[in-house]
Structures are given as C-alpha cells and as structure tokens.
Structure 1
Amino acid sequence: MTHASDLHVERIGSGPPLLLIHGIGSRAGVWKPVVARLAREREVFAIDLPGFASSPPLPAGTSSNVHTLTDAVEAWIRKTGLDRPRVAGNSLGGAISLELARRNAVHSAAALSPAGFWIPIERKYAQSVLRSARSIGRRVRPFAPRLARSRTLRSLLAGPFFARPSRLDVDDVLLDLTALLDAPAFDETLDSAQLYRFARGEEIHVPVTIAWGTRDLLLLPQQAWRAKRLLPNARHVPLHGCGHVPMADDPEAVANVLLLH
C-alpha cells in the first residue's frame, strides 16, 4: 500500500525544484546521465512510481493507470510541500507530467516521448514490444551479468529503448533489467494503456515542452506530429539520433531541453 510519503526519491542539487518521472518498468536511476548537469541549476527529485523499483504499489483495490499514478505523484507533491515544481517525464512519466500540467499542479511540464499520442495499432505494437522485452529478460536473467558485459549482447537487451545501447554502463543495464522484471505494477499498468489517449490539450495552461527521439523504436516518431496538433502552443523539440529513453543517448541535449522549461 502506497501513501504519498512512501515514494522512493533520489534528491540532489539546489535551485527551483524539478521532478523527474520515469517510464513503465523503469526506475529513478534511469535519469542518472543527466542528473549531475541538472543539479547545477535545479533541486532535482527523481522518483520511483508506485509499484516500480523501490516504491510500494498503490493501495489494494486501486488500479494502476495513468490517472491513479498521477494522483499518487500529485499527493506526493502536496505532502512534500513543493510549490508547483517543474516536472519532466519519459514515456509513461511523460503522460503523467502532462496530466499534472492539466491539473495545474506544476509550474511547467516537459514530456520525452510521452505515452498517449498513439493510434490503436501503435499502442498494441508498443505493448507487444514491452511484453516481449520482459519475457526475454526473464529467460536471460540467469546469464544477464555475462551478457551485459558484451557490447553486442547489451545492444540486443537494450536496443528497443536506446539508440546507442553500447554506451550504457553494465551495472545500469542490470539495474534496469531488475526494475523491468520485478515491478509488481507492470502488467496492470501496461494493460490499462488501452484506455488512455491524450486529449483536450486546450485544458493545459502552463508551459509545455514535447521532445521526441528521432530514432524512437517504441513510441514511433510520427506520434510527435499528433502531439503538435493536440498541443499547438507547446514547444516541440526533436532529439536527433535518440531512442525512446534519450537520457543516455544524448545527455547534454536532454539536459538542455529540461533546463529551458
């Protein structure tokens, strides 16, 4: 059972508060490549969502979906006493960031390849890729430490999510795999994606940035065009050469995007 104070948080830096929200099956540590740069100008709070990594699940009887996870993050913001922080999220975290912006709970929102701008066939494709990644991860888990040391095999493990997986740290690959395989909220959250599609962008009245990796193999880059139509007043930024999780692919470009919102 999760209360607002239960969320695992990694906190560093000083300045205006910036909340970082990871994607499905991920963890706060996925932001590590950009945190040091951000922390020079922001007080950074990287959280584990309920039911992922080190945060306990939502209360029994509460389904895990974009809206209930947004509820939990908004409750954490209130409990912590942050005054409308900036927020940035990737994938599922990007959708949550936009929902927080809709609720006027944040100063501004940046969404990196956010979920919810798909059409049904694209959503089903993304769900299939994620389920396959988890299934393959379970099979190779006993051999993961050896596989992760090989740049080629590291690319096979992380290729659907990163454009440059050979750059990843071996220990981070293993932590990411553990987060993916051990998340109790993974299946329910992924299943609930079929009920979520971003709409009513006109209800958002805070500054928004949408950034999309041009080599995103999970939420395909054409979804960025739908984001432009639905959020015409947002700042739209292509992340050239980046995959779905761009923080490790181009830390400087991602940090620059986040520091400008």
Structure 2
Amino acid sequence: MSTIEYSRKGSGPSVVLVHGIGHQRSAWGEVFDQLAQDFDVIAVDLPGFGRSPAPTAPHTWTMDSYVEQLEELFADLGLDRPHVVGNSLGGYFCLQMAARGSARSVTALSPAGFWSRFDLALIATNLIPMKLATYAPMPVLELFARKESLRKITMRALYVHPERVTEQAALSDSLNLRRSPGFWPCVWHGLPLRYIGRPVVPTTIAWGDTDRILSPRHADRARRGLPMVRHASLRACGHVPMLDDPDEVSRQVRQTIAEVDAPHILAS
C-alpha cells in the first residue's frame, strides 16, 4: 500500500496535483480550492517531501520509481486513470504518465527534462543555494519569513510575485526544504533527465514566461520535441505559477481536461 500523504477535496472527475523538487502539497495554494469546486482533487506530498516518508523497498529514489509510486497511489485510491497536473519535477512525472497512458489527461507546468548540458549549471546554481540557505539558524529563517522585503529576495527565483507568499507559508516551505530527505536523491537522479516519451493522452505543457529556474528556452525545446501536444505561455509567471496566477493555471487545467470531459467542464 502506498505511503504517500495527500489532501483531498471536492467531487467529480479525479485530478491529482504533483509538486516539484523541494516543495510540498501546499504549493498548489488557491489552485487546489478552485479545482475542487468541480473536481475530486488530490494534492500529494511526493515521497521524501512534506509529510510523505522516504521510499521503502521495493521502491527507490529513481525517477521511474516515483512514477510507479504515484500510480500505486492511484490504485490504492481506486482512481481509474485520473487527470494529473504537475509542476517542475512533478511535471516530468506527469509527462511520463502521459506516455504510459496511466493518466486521463496531463497538464505539465514548467516540466523538468527539456534542458541542455549548458542549462545544468544554471539550474544547480539556483537550486543548491536555496537548499543550503535553509540550514541557517531558526531565528534567521523566521526573520526572512517575517519580513516581506527579505521574502522577495529569497523567493525571487521561484515567483514573479514572492510578496504573495505568507509568513507562515514561507517558513513552512523553508523547513520542508531543509528537512526533506528526498532533495539530494532527486537532484542526483533528476539532473540527467531527458524527456523522450510521446504522450498518448490529451496533454498541455505550460511555461511561465519569467521562469528563472527552467527558462523559456526549455519551453522552446518542448515545442520542438512534442509538437503533438498543446503548448501555452503563462504571462508574468515564474517557475511556480500556481502562486503567480492561480486563475490562469486553473484555466489551463480545465482546458486540458475539457478535451476528455467536455460536457462536465462546460457546465462550470
């Protein structure tokens, strides 16, 4: 049985939300509640992040194992090929499900796996300092979470509007990144990723036009490599667009799902 922790709300077709490296289910913010108006929404903590424990045998830290663990959760919850939505590394996992046919539709927000070797240094330059900064003494973390000007500095790489992150959320995310045993294994297994699959279900790849972690160059590669899927640019959004523009993220998800469940979506 899956040990993945999750939050669940709403009713209707099932939608599973998958966060990115170093984050937790709360990253979905208003998107979770907006989608729950019309769907059965499940936001997960990936293994080794948030409240989910590290993988235990036969599971491992590999990227394929992460996909299998998510699919195991679907089976445990009785979900028959849910719609899935993922951000960053979570987007990569969802695209893998699009190729495996284990999801009904896929919306991937700035998904991993479309970088070049040149990009790896920039990605590491952003990710690793963020992780190391969380080892600061608690009074320092609390100070940076409390003061809006400091939150803007520390979270600028993730958001166009870091001022929208609350003090409580900022501290919670810092402590999650500090304590998550999955961060270093996911960096190790994740950086060599190249997405080479071919989605067999309705799929959207949406990219923040101000993404500082995975730049819009990655979106260009995704367009060239996957011309058969729908591509969208998220205006004035960073790497984690769920905070910058939850309305637009929800709209993109609904539009993707509408390709499968048109009568249900058109009513909302």
TM-score by length of 1: 0.94
Alignment counterpart, residue 159 of structure 1, candidates 156, 160, 173: 156
Tell me the amino acid that sits aligned with residue 227 of structure 1.
Answer: A
How far the C-alpha of 1:146 sits from its partner, in A, is 2.2
3-state DSSP class of the match of 1:210? Answer: strand
Tell me the amino acid that sits aligned with residue 146 of structure 2.
Answer: R
Please state if 1:209 is matched with 2:216: no
Q: How many residues align?
A: 256
Please state if 1:218 is matched with 2:201: no
How far the C-alpha of 1:67 sits from its partner, in A, is 1.2
Contact 1:243 1:249 in 2 (8 A): yes
Query: C-alpha offsets along residues 32-54 of structure 1, whole Å, 9 cap, x if unaligned?
Result: 22111111111100000111110
CA RMSD, Structure 1 to Structure 2 (Å):
1.3
3-state DSSP class of the match of 1:216? Answer: coil
Q: In 1, distance between residues paired with 2:197 and 2:39?
A: 30
3-state DSSP class of the match of 1:45? Answer: strand
**Structure 1: runs of 5+ lacking an equivalent:** none
Tell me the amino acid that sits aligned with residue 174 of structure 1.
Answer: L
Please state if 1:241 is matched with 2:236: yes
> Identity over the aligned pairs, expressed in percent?
36
Alignment counterpart, residue 180 of structure 1, candidates 170, 177, 182: 177
Alignment counterpart, residue 18 of structure 1, candidates 2, 7, 15: 15
How far the C-alpha of 1:61 sits from its partner, in A, is 7.5
Contact 2:99 2:197 in 1 (8 A): no
Counterpart in the other structure of 1:129:
126
Displacement over 6 Å in runs of 4+: none
Tell me the amino acid that sits aligned with residue 156 of structure 2.
Answer: G
Counterpart in the other structure of 2:249:
254
Please state if 1:74 is matched with 2:71: yes
How far the C-alpha of 1:62 sits from its partner, in A, is 4.7
Alignment counterpart, residue 120 of structure 1, candidates 97, 110, 117: 117
Q: In 1, distance between residues paired with 2:195 and 2:68?
A: 16
Q: In 2, distance between residues paired with 1:177 and 1:86?
A: 29
Q: Which range moved further: 146-155 or 220-229? A: 146-155
How far the C-alpha of 1:239 sits from its partner, in A, is 0.4
3-state DSSP class of the match of 1:76? Answer: helix
Q: Which range moved further: 137-146 or 77-86? A: 137-146
Counterpart in the other structure of 1:49:
46
How far the C-alpha of 1:245 sits from its partner, in A, is 0.3
Q: In 2, distance between residues paired with 1:36 and 1:137?
A: 29
How far the C-alpha of 1:144 sits from its partner, in A, is 1.8
3-state DSSP class of the match of 1:74? Answer: helix
